[in-house]
A and B are shown apart, each in its own frame.
Chain A
Amino acid sequence: MMLLMKNFGEKLDSRPAGREAWLAIQPKLREIAQEENITLDFMDVLLLTPSFADEFITNLVREYPGHVILSRTRENITVQKTLEFLWETWEQKPVMQ
Chain B
Amino acid sequence: MGSCSCITTLLATLSAMHEAIFHPLSRQAITWASAVKEPILLSTKQCLETRDVLRAKIDSLTIRLMRQGLKEDRIRLLDAVLSEIGSNAFDHNIGQWRDVPGVFFGIEETEDGVLCVLADRGQGLLTTLRRVRSELTNDAEALRVAFTERLSGRAPEQRGNGLKFVRSILLQDGIDLWYGSGNAAYTVVRREENWMEADPPILGCCAILFLRNP
Contacts and interface: CB of A to CB of B under 8 A. Distances in A.
Given A13-B80, A47-B83, A81-B80, 10 more contacts: A11-B59, A47-B79, A48-B80, A50-B165, A51-B161, A54-B161, A58-B159, A81-B172, A89-B150, A89-B161
**Interface majority SS (helix, strand, loop, mixed), chain A:** helix
A77 B39 CA distance: 38
Interface residues of B, number: 24
A86 B80 CA distance: 14
Given A50-B161, A85-B168, A77 B77 contact: yes
Interface in A57-97: 58, 76-78, 81-82, 85-86, 89
A85 B173 CA distance: 14
A47 B41 CA distance: 32
A82 B161 CA distance: 10
B157 to A, nearest CB: 8
Place the interface of chain A in its size category.
20 to 34
A29 B31 CA distance: 49
B165 A14 contact: no
A83 to B, nearest CB: 11
B80 A49 contact: yes
Interface string B65-107: 0000000110011011001100100110000000000000000
Given A49-B84, A50-B84, A51-B83, A77 B150 contact: no
Given A46-B76, A50-B161, A81-B77, A13 B83 contact: yes
Nearest to A86: B161
A51 B150 contact: no
B76 A76 contact: yes
A15 B76 CA distance: 18
